[in-house]
Amino acid sequence: MPQPLPSLASLRSFEASARLESFSKAAQELNLTQAAISQQIRLLEDRLGGALFRREARRVKLTELGRLYLGLTASALHDMESAFETVRALARPHALVIKTTPTFASYWLLPRLNAFQRAWPAASLTVTAVEASSGQFDGVGDVAITTGQDQWHGFITTKLFDIDLVAVASPAVARRTDLGPFLAGNTDAIIHTMKRLDDWALWCMGAGVPNFHLERGTILFNSALSYAAAEQDMGIVIAEEAMIADQLAAGSLVEVHSAHVPSGRGYYLLERDHRTRKPIVDAFIHWLQQEMRATTLLLSERRGLGLSSSQG
């Protein structure tokens, strides 16, 4: 039969002592006495059946058992603390918990969120970034914003916009990119996004140019990293046009080709089915849809002015 789990106080005392290499410093951080920390560690060691620390003159050092236990428990403790803070945030007046992808959070939502906070100064906002493919949109939250093809069950889904793919780079990279060799597939200045490995193939098919395979260029984990790398002159990336609307307007990214290729995906707003909307959620969704329309209008105006390509 499994033994009862150690107390959270013991785990927190252990983690702080291991990180600070000191019972006294751990006591200061946790607002406890050094004797209380020592007692929690002794209780934990008794439960485990072995020493977690070597006591030295002015500090403590982890034993092999201690290092093993820290590696197995540190992330779990962090997850418990994160879960507590998330649920506590939900209980606050005017609380709004938004889950979205790292790219949407970094490139679209955060640059605009000040406007919502000015309109709702009492709002208490929590933004959590999780990968679209991770399945974590099922957890705690008032709304989620993610990309896909309307495949979520148990949610009310609202499409915010369709995703068009464009080939973009920094102005410096765009200036030195010879369009002829690029369209023939002859360049190594390519950025691939691990989370969207099909995007180059989709864009190339739509643009009528040869595909750029993975053996050429740089591979980065997600779109947020890829766009940042492109802004730092690392190469050409296939971007979701609406996500980089601000960068296109500011000129930190420019299009190296005029093709705008539908991806077959969209960005969706997800709400839990059968959940009563709070007034703050109503306000956020109304604001979000207004901002989405403004982004769409900005991109349409750019195309109408012939600003969609740096190469003419």
Whether residue 123 sits in one domain with residue 16: no
Within a domain: residue 3? no
Task: Write down which residue in 24, 55, 82 finishes a domain.
Answer: 82
Q: Which residue has the tokens 């957890």?
A: 139
Whether residue 110 sits in one domain with residue 49: no
Whether residue 130 sits in one domain with residue 37: no
Above 70 in pLDDT, residue 308? no
Q: How confident is the model at residue 138 (pLDDT cuts 50, 70, 90)?
A: low
**The predicted structure's pLDDT at residue 310:** 46
Q: Tell me the per-residue pLDDT of 75-130, one tens digit each, with 9 for 90 and over.
A: 888 888 887 877 776 677 688 889 999 999 999 999 999 999 999 998 988 888 87
Q: Tell me the per-residue pLDDT of 210-236, one tens digit each, with 9 for 90 and over.
A: 888 777 789 999 999 999 999 999 999
Check: CB of residue 36 under 8 Å from CB of residue 27: yes
Whether residue 182 sits in one domain with residue 99: yes
**The predicted structure's pLDDT at residue 134:** 46
Whether residue 206 sits in one domain with residue 150: yes
Within a domain: residue 284? yes
Cβ density class 219-256: b for 16+ within 10 Å, e for less: ebebbbbbbebbbeebbbbbbbbbbbbebbeeebbbbb
CATH at residue 47: 1.10.10.10
| Amino acid at the residue 22 | S
Within a domain: residue 2? no
Task: Write down which residue in 82, 105, 139 finishes a domain.
Answer: 82
The answer for residues whose C-beta is within 8 angstroms of residue 61's C-beta and 6 or more apart is 21, 53, 54
Task: Write down which residue in 82, 111, 138 finishes a domain.
Answer: 82
Mean pLDDT of all residues in 242-248:
95
C-alpha gyration radius of the chain: 25
CATH at residue 223: 3.40.190.290
Show the domain range for 46: 8-82
Torsion 123-129-133-135 (CA) sign: negative
Q: Which residue has the tokens 């906070």?
A: 117
Counted domains in the chain:
2
Whether residue 155 sits in one domain with residue 27: no
